[in-house]
A = this chain, B = another copy of it.
Amino acid sequence: MRIVVPAGGIGGARFLRGLKAALANGSPDTDEQITVNNITVIGNTGDDITLFGLRICPDLDTVMYTLGGGIDEERGWGRVDETFTVKEELAAYGMKPTWFGLGDRDTATHIVRAQMIAAGFPLSAVTEALCDRWQPGVRLLPMTDDQVETHVVVDDGQGRRAIHFQEWWIRHRAALPAEQIISVGADAAEPAPGVLAAIAEADAVILPPSNPVVSVGSILNVPGIREAMVAKTVVGVSPIIGGAPVRGMADACLTAIGVETGAGAVAEHLGSDLLDGWLVDEADAGTEVEGIEVRSRPLYMSDPASTEAIARAAVDLAVELAGRGPEGEATRG
């Protein structure tokens, strides 16, 4: 079974760890033994930023570190046993910005990436080279090799202006009301090599509980990706439980684009042309969205076992829907 997962940072990475486990352990309901080589992750690069001459790809790195065993489990981002000497020294020189959490171990990753990009390698090749070390057990592709940056239009009382998503997210903790969220460069971007082929060959696309606006949304903004997914069985895991984000500040993003922070509203926003199935938490049992099969089950990824069970439920729902959908066919008796 081949699965494509468009993923953001922490939520996506943790879900992927559960999905790897679910596939590696086989799925009892599908009675199918599946290897970990069948997951292609399309990583969000809209959060990427260039700071101090380093090219930083927070979401790609979070996926890579999480699946490769290098993540700081408590923070959810960055390297375990991390130190922040370079960051402190840069601040001592008066270098700005000071709000970005640049770790020393992490800095080496960004130096390698910046060097390879300066040498002319596309981000997809750089990501593959970095994964050579981390062996994440999935194929990790950036959504695009082109530069797409998520900017947020804010009004801080001194007038409207667009700031980089990272500045809004980290420096302002998404507390500065956002009037608009823009994928700068998305219109002209092309999916990275392998992205469309992976979707075409996939048995299912599973949307992890990543931020639906700036993570999954950014990926879907790259021309061609959403269209390719529409032709597939797509099952999503709601990142909203009981009207609040499971983690992070997705509500601020949803508000900015005029979408209610609700499990059903997010599914509607993603669209019934795209989504075939939608898992919501038991707190949202009874949610109905026209054209989408909604199932409720516990959705808190509180430990590896619960995360694996959520991933397995998503896979099972995809298999079920593929078996009865108009474009699918029953694959087992």
CB–CB A93/B53 < 8 A: no
From known contacts A83-B83, A83-B85, infer whether A90 and B114 are also in contact, taking CB-CB under 8 Å: no
CB–CB A115/B53 < 8 A: yes
A79 CB to nearest chain B CB (Å): 8
Q: Is A95 an interface residue (CB 8 A)?
A: yes
Contact of A118 among B53, B89, B92, B108 (CB under 8 A): B53
Q: Tell me how many chains of this kind the complex includes.
A: 2
Interface residues in A36-90 (C-beta closer than 8 Å to B): 52-54, 83, 85-86, 88-90
Q: How far is the CA of A53 from the CA of B119 in the complex (A)?
A: 10
Contact of A89 among B90, B108, B115 (CB under 8 A): B108
Per-position binary interface string of chain A over residues 231-274, scored 1 when its CB falls under 8 Å from any chain B CB and 0 otherwise: 00000000000000000000000000000000000000000000
CB–CB A85/B111 < 8 A: no
From known contacts A53-B53, A53-B118, A118-B53, infer whether A111 and B94 are also in contact, taking CB-CB under 8 Å: no
What are the 7 tightest A-B residue pairs by CB atom distance, in nearest-first order?
A89-B108, A85-B104, A90-B108, A93-B112, A86-B108, A104-B104, A52-B111
CB–CB B133/A94 < 8 A: yes
CB–CB A133/B53 < 8 A: no
Q: Is A107 an interface residue (CB 8 A)?
A: yes
Name the CB-closest residue of B to A118. B53
Q: How far is the CA of A108 from the CA of B130 in the complex (A)?
A: 22
**Residue from A85, A95, A115, A133 having most chain B Cβ neighbours under 10 A:** A85
Instruction: Please report the total number of A residues contacting B with Cβ < 8 Å.
Output: 27
From known contacts A92-B133, A94-B133, infer whether A115 and B85 are also in contact, taking CB-CB under 8 Å: no
Q: Is A105 an interface residue (CB 8 A)?
A: yes
Interface residues in A281-311 (C-beta closer than 8 Å to B): none
Contact of A133 among B93, B105, B130 (CB under 8 A): B93
Q: Is A109 an interface residue (CB 8 A)?
A: yes
Q: Which residues of B contact A112 (CB under 8 A)?
A: 90, 93, 95
Name the CB-closest residue of B to A94. B133
Name the CB-closest residue of B to A82. B85
Q: How far is the CA of A60 from the CA of B118 in the complex (A)?
A: 26
Contact of A114 among B53, B83, B89, B130 (CB under 8 A): B53
Contact of A105 among B89, B108, B114, B118 (CB under 8 A): B89
Name the CB-closest residue of B to A92. B133
Q: Which residues of B contact A54 (CB under 8 A)?
A: 111
Per-position binary interface string of chain A over residues 305-320, scored 1 when its CB falls under 8 Å from any chain B CB and 0 otherwise: 0000000000000000
A163 CB to nearest chain B CB (Å): 21
CB–CB A115/B52 < 8 A: yes
Q: Which residues of B contact A129 (CB under 8 A)?
A: 93
Q: How far is the CA of A243 from the CA of B89 in the complex (A)?
A: 42
Q: Which residues of B contact A90 (CB under 8 A)?
A: 108, 111-112
A107 CB to nearest chain B CB (Å): 5
Contact of A104 among B53, B83, B95, B132 (CB under 8 A): B83
Known: A53-B115, A89-B105. 14 other contacts (CB 8 A): A53-B111, A53-B118, A54-B111, A85-B105, A86-B104, A89-B104, A89-B107, A90-B112, A92-B108, A93-B109, A94-B133, A95-B108, A95-B111, A95-B112
